[in-house]
Each structure stands twice: as structure tokens, then as C-alpha cells.
């Protein structure tokens, strides 16, 4: 094992100890170290980092920037140990936003996706995706959180999901509406009927009786989007699975504003429910929908008009 590979293992262990998962960074950095080995280099240089980060040649500057940012964080760690390692400066590529524009799903969009799931040839796949779409829509879970659910994490007697070791190592409990519990019970019965001897303890199962992998769920989602006839609204606004979470948050905030609730006081509740580490991550949703911005503006105008 090369010294850089050993240093990478140490770097990942340190970052993961404080809650970072770094699954993609681990793959990228392992590939970067292989690139350095091929070029017989035992130290990180800005030129070497740029040469690797700008692959593939037909990639986007945003993807190149992401690759370079992974190297930069690793190089910063190594530079503190050995100054031979250079830290690539920021600004080497034009700055671009890392956030895609949220595709806010309407209730009709969600219904269309769930109906499209029923068209899958496999009854188990159909039931799994129909229930998965519905659960994401009414809970705002990250899709990875839903796929990681084990059967013991789903308490349908008390109507609670236990989300374990989520982003940044946080865990939480998510209450379910009675109608959601009924849908989950129906899926459980159908799943156990179609797959009586699963190979994994996962709540959502694949046609092989194993946990549904994220990559397969993503491909299935693209198929659902196609079947449901949903179209991108722009190059940066495409119907992704994660946007169901955005949609849940925006609909919750819209409901609070329309009902005249004290939104600022309730924002920490939404942050906790969604599993956000910082409330700022929840406040970002205020800019996600024009209708929501309009309600915020009207609330501010009304407040400004009140006598002191």
C-alpha cells in the first residue's frame, strides 16, 4: 500500500469520526492516488490535481470543480503534515452553483409517479416503488434514509420511523400519519406475500429479495418520470428523487404562511423533522418557490405597516 493510500485511510477516518460519510470522496480520491501512481508522483501538486480533476475531457466545469474540491480538502490535510503537498487554490474554474434548481412536484405529479409504478412488470417492484414514492412525498425523507430502513426501524403499531445514522451521523424519529401507516401496512403484507424469504432485513426489498440499492432506485425513478410524462423545466431543473424532499418542505412552509402561523418560531421544528444539522439549511427553502417568496414578502409588508 502506498504512503498516500495510508494517508487517505487516516484522512477518511478522521473526517468520518466527526460525522462526514465521504463515500463519493473516497472513490474519487482513490482514483486520484492511482493517477498519481501511474505518473510516478508521490506528492500532490496543483498541476497534477488539475490534470486529474479535468477528466473526462467532455465533462462539465461543475463536475471538474467537484473533483478538484475533493482533492483540495485532502491536500489541505496532507500539507499540514508534509509541506511538499500543494493545496490547489480556489477559483481555478469559473464559480458555479452546486445546487440544482428544485423541481417542485405537485400533488398531481406524485400521483402520476405512483400510478406509473403500478405499470412495472414485477408486482414486487411495482409495490416497492409505489410505496417509496408515497412515503417520500408525505415525510420529506432523503431517499437514502428510506432505502436504509430495516424492518425493525418501522414501527407501524405506534406509527413511527426510526432514522438511524443519517447525514452527519444524526438519528431521529419521524411520526407517520394514520393514512401513511395504512399504506405501509398494505405494502408489508404485499411484500411478504411476494417475497416470503428475503435475503436482507430491509423494509423495502428488490425483486432479488435484497435491499434496494440507490443506483437502482435512481434508475427506477428515471423510468417513473418517463412513464409519468414529467419533463425538465430547464437544464438545471429536472425531476430528481431528492426534489420530493424539497417539495415537502416548501408545501409545509406554504401551509404555515397561509394559516398565519409564526413561521420563524416553527422553523426549528421543521429542521429537526427533516434532520438538518443547521437551521440555515431549512431557511434555504424560503427561496425555492416564487409563491413562497411572495407570501414572505406580504408578511414582511404587513409587519412593516404595523404601528410601533
Catalytically active residues are 142, 167, 242, 245, 276, 285
- Partners of 163 in the beta sheet? 172
Distance CA 185, CA 195 (A): 15
Beta bridge partners of 54: none
* CA atoms within a 13 Å half-sphere pointing along the CA-CB vector of 132: 34
Say whether 174 sits in a helix, a strand or coil: strand
Measured between its terminal Cα atoms, the distance across the chain in Å is: 70
Alpha helices in the chain (DSSP H): 3-17, 23-38, 46-53, 61-81, 107-117, 123-139, 143-147, 178-194, 214-228, 243-258, 263-274, 279-283, 290-304
Give residues with Cβ within 8 angstroms of 260, minimum separation 6.
none
Question: Rounded to an integer, what is the distance from CA 24 to the centroid of its chain?
Answer: 13
Q: How far apart are CA 111 and CA 244, in angstroms?
A: 12
Amino acid at each position: 500500500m502506498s504512503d498516500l493510500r495510508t494517508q487517505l485511510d487516516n484522512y477518511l477516518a478522521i473526517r468520518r469520526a466527526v460525522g462526514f460519510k465521504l463515500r463519493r470522496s473516497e472513490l474519487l480520491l482513490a482514483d486520484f492516488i492511482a493517477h498519481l501512481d501511474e505518473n510516478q508522483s508521490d506528492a500532490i501538486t496543483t498541476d497534477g490535481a488539475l490534470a486529474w480533476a479535468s477528466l473526462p475531457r467532455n465533462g462539465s466545469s461543475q463536475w471538474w470543480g467537484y473533483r478538484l474540491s475533493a482533492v483540495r480538502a485532502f491536500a489541505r490535510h496532507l500539507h499540514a503534515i508534509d509541506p511538499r503537498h500543494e493545496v490547489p487554490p480556489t477559483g481555478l474554474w469559473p464559480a458555479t452553483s452546486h445546487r440544482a434548481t428544485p423541481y417542485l412536484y405537485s400533488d398531481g405529479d406524485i400521483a402520476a409517479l405512483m400510478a406509473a409504478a403500478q405499470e412495472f412488470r414485477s408486482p414486487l417492484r411495482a409495490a416497492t416503488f409505489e410505496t417509496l414514492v408515497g412515503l417520500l412525498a408525505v415525510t420529506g425523507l432523503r431517499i437514502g434514509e428510506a432505502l436504509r430502513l430495516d424492518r425493525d426501524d418501522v414501527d407501524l403499531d405506534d406509527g413511527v420511523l426510526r432514522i438511524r445514522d443519517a447525514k452527519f451521523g444524526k438519528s431521529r424519529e419521524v411520526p407517520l400519519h394514520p393514512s401513511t401507516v395504512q399504506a405501509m401496512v398494505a405494502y408489508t403484507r404485499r411484500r411478504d406475500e411476494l417475497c416470503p424469504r428475503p435475503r436482507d432485513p430491509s423494509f423495502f426489498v428488490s425483486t432479488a429479495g435484497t435491499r434496494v440499492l440507490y443506483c437502482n432506485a435512481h434508475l427506477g425513478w428515471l423510468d417513473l418520470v418517463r412513464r409519468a410524462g414529467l419533463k425538465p423545466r430547464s437544464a438545471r431543473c429536472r425531476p430528481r428523487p431528492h426534489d420530493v424532499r424539497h417539495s415537502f418542505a416548501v408545501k409545509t412552509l406554504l401551509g404555515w404562511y397561509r394559516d398565519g402561523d409564526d413561521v420563524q418560531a416553527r422553523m426549528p421544528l421543521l429542521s429537526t423533522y427533516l434532520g438538518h444539522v443547521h437551521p440555515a439549511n431549512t431557511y434555504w427553502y424560503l427561496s425555492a418557490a416564487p409563491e413562497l417568496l411572495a407570501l414572505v414578502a406580504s408578511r414582511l409588508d404587513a409587519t412593516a405597516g404595523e404601528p410601533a
